Structure 1
Amino acid sequence: MARIFDRAQDFRIDNFQVLSGHPSAKANPLEKLEAQVAVGAIHDSAERCDAPKCHPDTRVAVQDDLYSWILDGDGELDQPKKIKWVTGPAGTGKTAVMGSLSERCESDGVLAATFFFASWSASIGRRRKTALVTTLAHQLARYHPDLREEISKAIDANSDIFNKRLHTQMEVLVLGPLQEIAHHPDRPSLRGAIIIDGLDECEAEQYHDTTATGSKSKSSPPRTDDQDQLEILQVLQKASLDPTFPFRIIIASRPERVFRDFFDPEDSPTPFAQKLDLHEDYNADTDITLFLEAQFNRLRRRYGLPSSWPPPEAIQTLVKNASGQFIYAATVVRFLDKGHRESPKALLEAILEVKAARKTTSNPLEQLDALYSHILESSPDPPLSIRWILTIDWCATRAMLPIPLQFVASNANMLLQTDSESNEAEYLLGNLHSLVQIPSPSDQRTTRYDFYHKSLIDFLEDDGRCGKLYIKWSDVKLFLCDRFTRACATRI
């Protein structure tokens, strides 16, 4: 037991040093900046190798509209809007659109910087605000040699800049260098897009004030996610209003209140940013149809199914059930293709028979919820499976229990064992491959369990959506502590 916690402590120290970036005294300014970067948040990082992208020939109209806006703006010459808010409910494909747009902009030389937040990521840098400005500045320095020199000078002149608030970091690391090169007689013509996805998934950074005696003060309440998200929005807004700021900023998020109030305030008749709603402004049915047809062609080839499968009315039903949510279509395809003993034909018939619990038009996620329930109930023990899904998510992304994150991430399969002779992981999760990324037995020491979409966790955390499948967090905590204790006992 002691050895396990010692190893975990070493892990936390190592990661703290990497995240907080303590460069050596000999490091040059740009090396110091690189030590503060959330590498996994950049669009082409290794961490995003399996990130969703738009299927070929889908989401063409929305990508073209965004790309055109990046190049030509909105036609307002006096006060052009430099920020566009891309929104829509879970599953509308925001991250896929942002990922594909980032690659297109990079290919055409009009990408300034990207940052993809992810609440599920094991990297603290992708879950919090701390590394946002430094990651953007690092990319600006990489893409623009003129900015690189000025950013380097700014870091040299402000050695404590990485300990400053976001507003100050933006002023020193981005706006200051832009203002400097604006005075150059041969100043370069800069343009391009800064793309920030999943800002609604940014978690609050907590600070602890201390009293004169060194004890923590209880006078300041903990910061909320909304506060840090609003701070980021205000920093980006201020940057966009600077006359030397040449870039266009695209922010993608769900339509949470903090974003609605910021982008469409009741007391402002002229919003400072444009809004694009993927659910309301674009009819995704055609794109979802193209996606399903392409995937069914692949399934037919793989399983030797006749060209008459599936019948056209089946695809029409699936498109209707999707209600504009790409996540529904993607989950259906994975369900048909992920290691079930039944044939895809039988599985499709089962999906088409699934009915939503309620018949209203106000909730576009009804059919997705019904599909999630159907898949989870195919587990031999749904409550236990859900406990493990929530346990893996909680330990890998929130680390709110005094149990080493490294231990859980690399030993999830061991925790899932009730005894040395059984494989509880495969028993419980074997039918859930369409929802959970399960490593092969040979990779379970190095590869972590993961989920295809945060929408699954949203579903399980909402008792109004998942109904009888709902598990209280208090039960999950007790369950994990019991399993952790049992696992440690087997190692002593």
Structure 2
Amino acid sequence: MLLKKIAPNAFYNSAARFDPPKCDEDTRVEVISEIMDWIGDWEGPKRLLCMTGAAGAGKSALQQTVAERCADSGILGCAIFFSSQDPTRNNLSHIVPTIAFQLGQHDTTLQDCIRKAIEKDPPIFTRTIRTQMDTLVVRPFKQLQANPGFDARSFPHAVLIDGLDECAGEERQAELLSTIKHCLLDNNLPFRIFVTSRPEWAIRSALNSETRGYLHPLAYHIQLSDNYDATDDIRRYLWRRLQDIGSQSYDPRARSKSWPTVEDIEKLVIAASGQFVFAATVVKYVLERRSSPVDRLQTVVNWTPEEGQLARPFEALDVLYASILSAAKESYEAVDTHRGRNFLLLLRAHQINSEVRVGTGWDGHDFDEILNLEGTAHEVLVSDLHSLVVYPRASFSLMHFYHKSFSEFMDSETRSKNLFIPEIQVKAYISETVVQEFNRFSSEPSSTCATSRSMSNGNAVIALALYSDEGNLLSGQQILALAHNGGWKKLDQLVQEGRILASLESSQFLAMIFVIMRRLKNELNEPGLADALKPYYNKWRGARLDQ
């Protein structure tokens, strides 16, 4: 009966996972050594190891390598590999029976205890996973421990769970972590449990030290993307794999000792940004037998997302990015307080700001205020994207991309397709947001106007100058909106309060004012509004020269 409830595809050596990713020789040596030392340390106080890392950082390859080494050493108790694409292992339905089955294979007495537990409660597989874990794993193992001749140190003790984030549903991921804590850790069973996951909500919140996550004091946490620089390993991997491909190629250029070139390898290493998935994608593309590896490598190295481009060397990578981005968009826009917000537009705006593409880059909190959002909106925005981007906790924080290629994906309509947001759309959105906020400010009496922080400190006005291309992208309606309700006088108030003229962007601000005056006069037939602005322009220009 147990056999019918397991997920054999989740085994580390399942045929369904044929040729799974694993670490190349001489790569990831340090982190593999750290993991294997932890597994072998019976006296270590923390019996749970959680490894988090960016998408494509190589977590599954590490877990596979560890599983094979544990199996070879006779210490592998069980291994579970989740996959979002496989309905037999993308949920918790089969997780406990699969663990119980594998553990039972190591001891006939344990196997018999599990069988009796099922006979006593045939509907056990319909219970919660916590009840299943207690009935099928905890109690049978305690019965085994009660045997006088049982030696816990001789029982295979490594319990490996890969890809927690691939289990559908954040609540279900959290349920599994809670079950591991309450059943396996709290009962002091002699297992060393190694879990890998992208840093998504369930595991992130459980390990969070600031909010006193319940696993924080119990787990040994390795943050793979932050603690280990994989650059040298990726370089070695690319050299070895590409040279192997070349040695078996019919193309004499590929068999040459000068291929691949150092320059090409270094370009790829930089583009990988420390993430193995990029390097693995390149190798898989170059490996295509029906064309020359030399030509295909040059396609990768020189590839640009031009219209009509037929080559798609990063197609596999783009599927990964699109999947993560689409899920994050759906989750964000489903929240009622986010109704009306465009997730992709806001994310693209923060990308452009953080990469300082438009004159200056603001801290995440300051940029949220420019966008007229709450000051922590940027953190919520990326909360489901921690496997790709993060806002580091610092006094001045810009969005950090784990993958350089993910930023390039967002820049390319060819790659991101229906998820693409043009940069001009971001500029138009920010310009309109600032104009609307300025209208609210200028339409209220000075005595009652509650100026937003981004207005009073000048950030919003500077953003308008930068994102409107010094006024050239403003519509006629937006220019007239700025002028109405004593707009020039209110703008003068903001210039004085916000120290705009002392900023590095003061020249762009003055250029915008000059463009607005010219357009009022020549394009909008409003010479009176232009003349009213001119004294302020001269005043601000003179004040800037005096700085």
- Alignment TM class, shorter chain as reference: 0.5 to 0.7
Q: 1:54-73 alignment to 2 at 5 Å?
A: 54-73=23-42
Q: 1:372-391 alignment to 2 at 5 Å?
A: 377-378=309-310
Give me the whole-angstrom Cα distance separating, in 1, the residues matched to 2:61 and 2:308.
25
2:233 aligned residue: 287
2:202 aligned residue: 258
* 1:242 paired to 2:186: yes
Q: 2:39 is matched by which residue type in structure 1?
A: I
1:146 is displaced (CA, Å) by 2.8
1:187 is displaced (CA, Å) by 2.1
Q: 1:87-106 alignment to 2 at 5 Å?
A: 87-106=52-71
Query: Deviation digits for residues 148-207 of structure 1, max 9, x if unmatched?
Result: 12111211211111111101000000000122122222223235211111110111xxxx
Aligned residues: 331
The one of 331, 342, 351 aligned to 2:300: 351
Q: 1:46 is matched by which residue type in structure 2?
A: A
2:267 aligned residue: 317
Higher mean displacement: 133-142 or 234-243: 234-243
The one of 228, 233, 245 aligned to 2:177: 233
Q: What percent identity do the matched residue pairs reach?
A: 33
From the superposition, tell whether residues 311 and 266 of structure 1 become closer, same or farther in structure 2 (CA, over 3 Å): same
- In the superposition, the TM-score normalised over structure 1's length comes to 0.61
The one of 80, 84, 94 aligned to 1:119: 84
Give me the whole-angstrom Cα distance separating, in 1, the residues matched to 2:192 and 2:106.
15
1:231 is displaced (CA, Å) by 0.5
1:249 is displaced (CA, Å) by 0.8
**Greater relative contact order (Cα < 8 A, sep 6+):** 1
Q: 1:186-225 alignment to 2 at 5 Å?
A: 186-189=149-152, 190-203=155-168, 225=169
1:145 aligned residue: 108
From the superposition, tell whether residues 247 and 196 of structure 1 become closer, same or farther in structure 2 (CA, over 3 Å): same
* 1:306 paired to 2:256: yes
1:239 is displaced (CA, Å) by 2.3
From the superposition, tell whether residues 465 and 300 of structure 1 become closer, same or farther in structure 2 (CA, over 3 Å): same
Equivalent residues of 1:91, 1:326 under 8 A apart: yes
Give me the whole-angstrom Cα distance separating, in 2, the residues matched to 1:374 and 1:312.
26
Q: Gaps (5+ residues) in structure 2? A: 324-386, 389-402, 420-547
Query: Deviation digits for residues 458-480 of structure 1, max 9, x if unmatched?
Result: 999x984653544559xxxxxxx
Give me the whole-angstrom Cα distance separating, in 1, the residues matched to 2:212 and 2:302.
48
The one of 271, 282, 285 aligned to 2:217: 271
1:451 aligned residue: none
From the superposition, tell whether residues 374 and 34 of structure 1 become closer, same or farther in structure 2 (CA, over 3 Å): farther
1:284 is displaced (CA, Å) by 1.1
Query: Bigger radius of gyration, 1 or 2?
Result: 2
From the superposition, tell whether residues 100 and 374 of structure 1 become closer, same or farther in structure 2 (CA, over 3 Å): farther
Give me the whole-angstrom Cα distance separating, in 1, the residues matched to 2:208 and 2:217.
6
Q: 1:173 is paired with a residue of what secondary structure? A: helix
Q: 1:56 is paired with a residue of what secondary structure? A: coil
RMSD: 3.4
From the superposition, tell whether residues 463 and 275 of structure 1 become closer, same or farther in structure 2 (CA, over 3 Å): same
Q: 1:143 is paired with a residue of what secondary structure? A: coil
1:33 aligned residue: 2
Give me the whole-angstrom Cα distance separating, in 1, the residues matched to 2:64 and 2:265.
27
Q: 2:105 is paired with a residue of what secondary structure? A: helix
1:53 aligned residue: 22
Q: 1:256 is matched by which residue type in structure 2?
A: E
Q: 1:314 is matched by which residue type in structure 2?
A: D
Query: Deviation digits for residues 246-301 of structure 1, max 9, x if unmatched?
Result: 11111111011221111124232852101112212222122112211111221221
1:447 aligned residue: none
From the superposition, tell whether residues 48 and 375 of structure 1 become closer, same or farther in structure 2 (CA, over 3 Å): farther
Higher normalized helix content (fraction of residues) = 2
Q: 1:378 is matched by which residue type in structure 2?
A: L
Equivalent residues of 2:243, 2:259 under 8 A apart: no
Equivalent residues of 2:81, 2:162 under 8 A apart: yes
Query: Deviation digits for residues 37-65 of structure 1, max 9, x if unmatched?
Result: 01101111110112112112222221121
Q: 1:178 is paired with a residue of what secondary structure? A: helix
* 1:329 paired to 2:290: no
Q: 2:12 is matched by which residue type in structure 1?
A: H
